[in-house]
Every structure is written in structure tokens, then in C-alpha cells.
Chain A
Amino acid sequence: GQQVMQIPQYQHVQEGEDFTTYCNSSTTLSNIQWYKQRPGGHPVFLIQLVKSGEVKKQKRLTFQFGEAKKNSSLHITATQTTDVGTYFCAFRNAGNMLTFGGGTRLMVKP
């Protein structure tokens, strides 16, 4: 079935540096969602993208959906220690089930 791969698996950054995680699929996706999970916490919904080439911003976070709808990215500008956690992409299939990528774990050094 359809899957999404996330890279990198881990990323260490110095506070203030930018961070980007990528989500890639071999097939066209109808949508992509992003979730954040703090250490020891539960996933929290951030956003959903559905349109080709769509770009959405939430403060320092910028989300993109590729033109071919086969990839997506989450970019954080000027990371803060509060950004620490694992970021997951996921897509919703025709049966409304979510399939998650493996996640990118972000660690921020103060």
C-alpha cells in the first residue's frame, strides 16, 4: 500500500538555526497532514495540505505540498527549545485512515 518516508530521521540544531524535515511518497497523495509529538507526549495535529503547490505558514513554521503531490516539507525558522519533539507527516486514504511516516526527531541545543 501507499507509504511515506521521512528524512532525516534525527536532526540536532543549535537554537536559532533553521530546520527542515521532508516527507516523500512514490505515489500521488490526495492530502498530507503534519503532527508534532513532544517527548513523552502524544501527537498533536498541526496542519493539513490538499492542493498542489500549497504553502501554509504558522508563525515560524512553513508547510509545503509539492507540485506533483508526492512530497511535503516542514520548515522551522530560528528554532527554539520549545520546538523539540518528533514531527510526523501522515496521509489520509480513501477509507479515512491515517498512515504515518517514521518521523523526524528534532533536538535543539540552547
Chain B
Amino acid sequence: NAGVTQTPKFRVLKTGQSMTLLCAQDMNHEYMYWYRQDPGMGLRLIHYSVGEGTTAKGEVPDGYNVSRLKKQNFLLGLESAAPSQTSVYFCASRPTGSYEQYFGPGTRLTVT
């Protein structure tokens, strides 16, 4: 049982490049979330999903897109990266009926 995994762990992008971050969970959780964490700050919700095939905007969705084609995977896309998107990205999941979120190890993204 790997829990929540994230790929890649680190990435450096140039401004304007695109990339996709992958989050996978093997706990059969319905809910999945993408957060970003900037230095010295708490986590801010980017997008979330309440089940396969559904997505919704969080607090800071601009510049990001997401997809949840399979229940176990939640993808976060950056179509045209900007330096303001330099951050650590965390994925989380939780089962229906529980309030506890389980976080992945994070992806450290730098946009130059």
C-alpha cells in the first residue's frame, strides 16, 4: 500500500513551457486535491475532485487545469508556466465519510 504518490519529485521549467504533474493513490479514495505551498505560507487549494470524471476549482485555480479520468489518478497541468508558479505542489486524497486528508510527498517545481 503506497498511499499517495506524486511524479515527478523535482522539475525545472522555463517560462512558457508546459508540464503535467501526476498524483496516484491506491486507497480507493473518492476525493482528491491539489495544493500549492509557497515559502513560509500555508497550503492553498488549486483544484479538487469529488470522484472520477469530476473536477472543481479551489482558491487559486488560474493557470492550472486538472483531469480525473481514473479514480486513482489526479493530473495537474500547467499549460504555459510562469515564474509565479514556482512552488511545492502537494496532492492529497480522502475517503468518503472521513475528514482526514492523506498527503503525497510533494513536487518541487521551479520556473525560470
**A interface residues (Cβ-Cβ under 8 A, vs B):** 6, 9, 31, 33, 41-45, 48, 88, 90, 92, 96-103
Contacts and interface: CB of A to CB of B under 8 A. Distances in A.
B111 interface: no
A17 B22 CA distance: 42
A101 B90 contact: no
Nearest to B57: A97
B42, B50, B100, B105 — most chain A CB neighbours (10 Å): B42
Interface of B: 31, 33, 40-45, 48, 50, 58-59, 90, 92, 99-106
6 contacts: A42-B90, A43-B92, A45-B102, A97-B33, A98-B33, A99-B59
Contacts, number: 49
A97 B100 contact: no
A96 B29 CA distance: 14
Contacts of A88: 42-43
A31 B43 contact: no
Contacts of A92: 99
A100 B104 contact: no
Contacts of B33: 97-98
Given A97-B45, A97-B58, A102 B99 contact: no
Contacts of A33: 99
A17 B48 CA distance: 40
B103 A42 contact: yes
A31, A42, A99 — most chain B CB neighbours (10 Å): A42
A12 to B, nearest CB: 16
Given A42-B90, A42-B106, A43-B90, A98 B41 contact: no
B45 A48 contact: no
Contact of A42 (B41, B45, B100, B104): B104
Contact of A100 (B44, B99, B105, B106): B44
Contacts of B105: 41-42
